[in-house]
Structure 1
């Protein structure tokens, strides 16, 4: 007998709902690395910040690697076994990160943590989806699920940053491990022992393709995180890692084209909506990476610590909620996605425009309410709308082998790529600004102690100039993205009908000409 639920029959309906909510919150709040605490992790362990950033990306890569295997795992193991094993692996991973000072161990633990987190998330997401939308309508599910995921991610970072002031960052990970183990013990009691579907043998899994996919993405993550520190292609390690990433990805694409059961299906990327969706996801990654420019401003110019920086995320939560409500109403009335996507990118551009004119050496934190509201609305809107548009009308059996690549492109490749580009550009623009300001140096002003203050002022002016120049480039590119959205059809039949009538009239003319020639 099969049971596609999670809990035993004696658990009441309300209890099931609360347990699903508990599992969802615990799984989403847990992370291998909290980016707001990287500064403390570096000072405590002696490792470089790039190592922890690489471990953070490794968690995302682990999630994308696990997605194509989820249904195979569900057909082989019970939901109870998968959930308990995933929670225990997550607990072990976060405990190892808290207690080791070896960079390779931290990165490997982050990867395993991400893979286990995705398996546990799928176990919770499937029943949650059918609770929200019994028919499996993604248009009703995503407007509720994605704002919840983004808000919990923000709250997790804020909670970790605030608790790190009371206790060490290691204790946050140890407490997280303890909570995950307690939830695993609860699952032993309340989850049933029945299978999700008929038991399938655990064979014909393309382990080589899994290794190629992992190697390619982890090599790319090394390039994007250590590129600036290693002076980019001056370093042989960066060059070799990039070549390795390209070669293994090419081998993977070639290998999957001839497989009967491919690990990742690239056929999905031949569809027009998927190709356009990847362009929009690239633009989304650019805007998300623009947050690094804001962090430079708040840290270097305004002097905010990690706790205040994390609290800025609280200001974006109302915008995320508004984006979810607008999405729900939009999908309910079956309105075209075109203008909804346009509104999301428009909100991001307004967010950057407001910041462009706000960036001054002295600014109170209340001034961030409006831009962070726009930031939250844009992020929530685009996570929902672009994902629905990209994977629209794709069956679940075809989506799972490909969604891992789409997800890692959105959450890692696009964001990390633009983050690396912006970091390099900001460094170059800052030195260019210093050169431009050097003409105002005066030997008399720099001859005594006040010169230190003058150097400080020059440095802040250079940072502000570099920030504004970089934001200007992003805004101009964003206007180009808005133009692409306006001129893209987004599934509209308006021009298809015109093309059909045009070709039909051509066929009629040719047929009439043929008749005239036959008569002659």
Structure 2
């Protein structure tokens, strides 16, 4: 009997640990890995103040972590078949401890960015090592829809928990304490791994040769260059700056080199045919649309809750709890109707976009200067549930693709869903907001001259503050309105688009994946 057909058992853990507890140990490890990383974007304000850096510098480090995370997918199975889970856990936890220590004691932007990139890679490697070990415990039938519900519930839930923990920690002490807490948790992972895990080899190891590491570096350069342009563009006044022009040139040149190399080398990191698959480019474009619709999350919500409503860190943390609840609602809904009842991809996409459209409409009609916090509950729930439903649907849509290039498709989708997409949406909205706010400020101030007697009754500072808040509010409502129109137009397109596809893909056995990789390496050796 093969390992895949036996009753579920984790052979990597000693038998003195009860079998029912073993999977939960790995789930806790996954949560710790997901909470770890380079920098915590929820502590941007605290870090910029204490380190004397710009907000863009901290954001650059945060996005670098996400790029490192994204590039793990394309080599994830090679790492699994090269190391035991014990070795993987010890290496990844040790590397993350070192990364967190460096972040605490440095104020150098290049070091922060580089360390965060490395931390993102090891964070995802550790997460993947744990998750693949308990996959049959989560879904004995290897149903990809069920599997991705679990993955996104864990990932999105951890993001919110990380934000909550960071906000509370920064409020009660300083942002560095969050890193010390994570270091302590990672040390616990090392000690537990050393104590109860054994070096169990369920398949013969495969070496890491045959991987396109040059392509890996080039793709990292490409994405990081574009992130630099989008992140610093507004600060450096876009193409009036040599830095932005150089960043764009570097991104374009490295992208061309990537595509050129992929046209003739035997096994490029991302093959050209991968980009031509409909499910890949369609979900890529749809993710950009989703990120544009959700761009107020990264700009307007912060401006509104902090500058307009005056919320402190504790109130902001309480809003994260609402988003976390929405994540659970969306994941449970997707599990019941998508993973179990196999509703169509089209139906799930429409539901997700309807929830996002509902979020945008509620924000458009309700935001005001004295809005009670309870009025934000429903829109935040709708936004979180809608995004999770769409994310689960889009990643499951890739599962029907040949598993030889499936890791490549996940990497491509991660480029847009984890890093570039959100930054592109927020950068576009930020640029439009600056233009709209200036226009509305001038329109609102046209009657405020020396002829207007009410102007003399109010101090200039107070008058300017009120005028600025009014301009911000009107501009936010205007852009929310345009996003509502865009979301409704998208819904109309989906409604008229016919599709009967349902989730039915199963995850292949790891033995089969290893056999395929081994055959590929053998053919490479013969051709060389």
- Taking structure 2 as the reference length, the TM-score comes to 0.89
Among 341, 348, 352, the alignment partner of 1:333 is: 341
Residue 499 (structure 1) aligns with: none
1:392 match: secondary structure? helix
Query: Of the candidates 482, 491, 499, which is equivalent to residue 482 of structure 1?
Result: 491
CA contact (8 A) 1:224 1:416 kept: yes
Match of 1:140 in 2: 146
Please name the residue that 1:381 is paired with.
389
For structure 1, which segment, 297-306 or 104-113, has the greater mean C-alpha deviation from structure 2 after superposition? 297-306
Aligned residue for 1:298?
305
Counterpart CA distance in 2 for 1:180 and 1:288 is: 33
**In 2, Cα distance between equivalents of 1:262 and 1:196:** 28
The reply to whether residue 198 of structure 1 matches residue 204 of structure 2 is yes
Equivalent in 280, 289, 293 of residue 283 of structure 1: 289
Q: Deviations over 1:72-103 (max 9, x none)?
A: 22222222111111111111111211111111
CA gap 1:7/1:397 in 2 versus in 1, 3 angstroms: farther
Q: Is 1:242 aligned with 2:248?
A: yes
Shift in Å at residue 491 of structure 1?
A: 5.1
Structure 1 Cα separation of the partners of residues 140 and 383 of structure 2: 32
- Match for residue 511 of structure 2? none
**One of 341, 346, 358 as aligned partner of 2:354:** 346
Shift of 1:311: 2.1
8 Å CA contact 1:84, 1:184 repeated in 2: yes
Q: In the comparison of the two structures, how many residue pairs are matched?
A: 492
Report the CA distance between 1:178 and its aligned residue.
2.2
Alignment partner, residue 370 of structure 2: 362
SS in structure 2 of the partner of residue 121 of structure 1:
helix
Return the alpha-carbon distance in structure 1 between the equivalents of residues 208 and 107 of structure 2.
36
Shift, 1:318, TM fit: 2.7
Shifted more, 21-30 versus 138-147: the winner is 138-147
Which residue is 1:162 aligned to?
A: 168
The match for 2:158 is 152
Alignment of 1:467 with 2:476, yes or no, is yes
CA contact (8 A) 2:64 2:224 kept: yes
Instruction: Output the CA distance in 2 between the equivalents of 1:492 and 1:64.
Output: 27
Aligned partners of 1:16 and 1:32: how far apart in 2? 28
Provide the C-alpha distance between the structure 2 equivalents of 1:359 and 1:175, rounded to a whole number of angstroms.
37
**Counterpart contact for 1:285–1:411, Cα < 8 Å:** no
1:84 corresponds to: 90
Paired with 1:247 and 1:156, the residues of 2 have a C-alpha distance of: 36
C-alpha RMSD over aligned residues: 2.0
For 1:307 and 1:226, the matched residues in 2 are separated by 29
Q: Is the 8 A contact 2:68 2:117 kept in 1?
A: yes
CA shift, 1:490, in A, is 3.5
After superposition, the Cα gap between the structure-2 partners of 1:86 and 1:302, relative to the gap in structure 1 and judged at 3 Å, is: same
Encode CA deviations 1:138-165: one digit per residue, 9 max, x unaligned.
1122223312321221111011101112
Residue 333 (structure 1) shift: 1.6
Distance 1:165 1:198 in 2: 50
Q: Which among 41, 57, 65 is matched to residue 59 of structure 1?
A: 65
Structure-to-structure mapping, 1:69-468, within 5 angstroms: 69-291=75-297, 292-330=299-337, 331-389=339-397, 391-443=398-450, 444-447=453-456, 450-468=459-477
Contact 2:12 2:199 in 1 (8 A): no
Q: Distance in 2 between matches of 1:490 and 1:282?
A: 21
Secondary structure of the residue aligned to 2:331 is helix
Structure 2: 5+ residue stretches without partners: 4-8, 503-528
Cα 1:145–1:137, aligned 2, differ >3 Å: closer, same or farther? same
- With over 3 angstroms needed to count, the CA separation of the structure-2 counterparts of 1:401 and 1:5, relative to structure 1, is farther
Determine if contact 1:86/1:119 at 8 Å carries over to the other structure: yes
Deviation at residue 488 of structure 1 after TM alignment: 2.7
Tell me: CA distance 1:487–1:243, structure 2 relative to 1, closer, same or farther (3 Å).
Answer: farther
Work out whether residues 5 and 127 of structure 1, in 8 Å CA contact, stay in contact via their aligned partners in 2. no
| Unaligned runs of at least 5 residues, structure 1 | 494-520
Cα 1:492–1:183 shift into 2, 3 Å: closer
- For residues 233-285 of structure 1, what are the alpha-carbon distances to aligned partners after superposition, in whole Å with 9 as ceiling and x for unaligned? 11011011012101101211221232222212332232222232222211221
Equivalent residue number for residue 497 of structure 1: none
- The 3 A distance-change label for structure 1 pair 451 and 169 is same
Question: Larger deviation: 232-241 or 186-195?
Answer: 186-195
